[in-house]
Amino acid sequence: MKPSREDARKTVMLGLGLDKDDGPLRITRGDNYHLVGGSLPTHEKMQEVAVRVNESLSVSGKRLEEVSGGEFRDIVARAVEKVGD
């Protein structure tokens, strides 16, 4: 039996860096995130935030699809705080 459209949907985080002022277009994909653009430092920070979000999800035993919008915002805020500015 073919999966329904509902079953085929997947939740992903999207990171978009807008400060690219050097050559290459940076694209990084993970199981539940896509990161596009940004300067090298910005792209690296987006990668680190995505990894920390996934670590937090793993510790809580939840998948991205299972957290509420509020929970997601809190998880991302904590990840950004750890990464620094």
3-33 pLDDT tens trace: 555 555 789 999 999 997 788 899 999 999 9
Phi, psi of 5 (to 5 degrees): -60, -35
Full residue range of the structural domain in which residue 60 is found: 5-83
61-73 pLDDT tens trace: 999 999 999 999 9
Q: Is the pLDDT of residue 1 over 70?
A: no
| High-pLDDT (> 70) share of the chain, % | 89
SS3 31: coil
Task: Map tokens 């940004």 to a residue.
Answer: 38
Top-confidence residue, 17 or 84: 17
Counting the structural domains of the chain, the total is: 1
How far apart CA 29 and CA 36 sit, in angstroms, is 9
H or E element, residue 37: strand 33-37
Mean pLDDT, rounded, for 52-77: 95
Mean pLDDT, rounded, for 25-54: 95
